[in-house]
């Protein structure tokens, strides 16, 4: 009995030591990732700024049956005004009687102002090898105009309040084959997936501010700039939920909730993430 107890104690001690070593290794890896991000965060080194440049060209390019640009598109600050627009999105738009995020609003402007068939734009919503994305480039360009500003979405209109409530319900809604929700990964402190720390987005404050303030971002692991629409789509995919429809009201509602949690956070985009 005594020898068995000793063996159990030794085994337990080894587990504790291994666990501590694993945590230290993860912390060291995270520091190296942060050091790498800092090295390429300058606009001259961040590949995400190539998307900003492409988006600037697209914004002023005449397209569609009406052969006009997007320069009269109202993103909430007035026709053609970009500074601060991203910081206040999603928001309610009277002309559409809807709460829209940036990508929804751009699609609306393409259809209403340019009379552009957006099927191809939606088909290329996410870039890939040999496939550029107009939406990712436009979002990068417009979001960059709000860099240095604070996240401050309006929540005074009843439809904005409704979307925030729906988004919060979606955040905690479990489902899919794994019975996961957003909260499964993002409602506790100190959670990790492999070496990646997971921010707690269930409480307003620093963690959601830093998270939401860094999108759109250049994903080093994917070699592409990604928007929040892509991040949410990929989260649902990883949870093994049905694929959400691009630019759907459900994704906008979830974004409203997350932006509400991140109120006051500084926008710094395009950022760099793994």
Contact 140, 214 (CB under 8 A): no
Residues 15 and 17: their CA atoms lie apart, in Å, by 5
Contact 101, 212 (CB under 8 A): no
Which pair of structure tokens corresponds to residue 152? 């401050």
As a whole number of angstroms, the distance between CA 87 and CA 253 comes to: 16
Active site residue 235: yes
Question: Which sign does the torsion angle of CA 96, 254, 267, 132 carry?
Answer: negative
CA-CA distance, 77 to 16, in Å (whole number)?
56
Inter-residue contact 226 to 272 (CB < 8 Å): no
Q: Identify the H or E element spanning 226.
A: strand 224-226
Say if CB 267 and CB 146 are below 8 A apart.
Answer: yes
Which residue pairs from 15-23 have beta carbons closer than 8 angstroms and sit at least 24 positions apart in sequence?
Answer: none
Q: Which secondary-structure segment (H or E) carries 242?
A: none
- Angle, CA 19 vertex, CA 14 and CA 20 arms, to 5°: 100
**Given 17, 73, 109, 235, which residue is catalytic?**
235
Question: CB-based contacts of 202: which residues, under 8 Å, 6+ apart?
Answer: 171, 183, 186, 187, 261
User: Catalytic residue positions?
Assistant: 235
């Amino acid at each position: 009995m005594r020898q068995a107890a000793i063996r159990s104690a030794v085994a337990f001690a080894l587990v504790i030591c291994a666990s501590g070593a694993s945590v230290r290794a993860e912390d060291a890896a995270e520091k190296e990732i942060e050091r790498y991000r800092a090295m390429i965060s300058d606009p001259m080194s961040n590949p995400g700024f190539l998307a900003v440049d492409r988006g600037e060209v697209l914004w002023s390019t005449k397209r569609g049956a009406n052969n006009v640009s997007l320069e009269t598109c109202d993103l909430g600050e007035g026709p053609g005004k970009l500074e601060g627009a991203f910081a206040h999105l999603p928001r309610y738009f009277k002309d559409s009687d809807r709460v829209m995020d940036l990508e929804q609003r751009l699609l609306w402007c393409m259809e209403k102002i340019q009379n552009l068939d957006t099927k191809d734009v939606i088909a290329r919503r996410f870039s890939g090898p040999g496939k550029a994305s107009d939406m990712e480039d436009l979002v990068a360009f417009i979001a960059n105009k709000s860099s240095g500003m604070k996240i401050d979405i309006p929540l005074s209109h009843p439809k904005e309040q409704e979307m925030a409530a729906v988004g919060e319900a979606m955040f905690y809604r479990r489902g899919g084959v794994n019975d996961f929700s957003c909260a499964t990964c993002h409602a506790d402190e100190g959670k990790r997936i492999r070496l990646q720390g997971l921010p707690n987005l269930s409480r307003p404050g620093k963690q959601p501010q830093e998270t939401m303030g860094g999108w759109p971002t250049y994903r080093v692991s994917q070699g592409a700039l990604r928007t929040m629409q892509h991040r949410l789509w990929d989260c649902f995919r990883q949870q093994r939920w049905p694929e959400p429809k691009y630019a759907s009201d459900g994704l906008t509602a979830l974004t409203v909730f997350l932006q509400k949690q991140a109120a006051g956070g500084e926008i710094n985009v395009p950022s760099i993430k793994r």
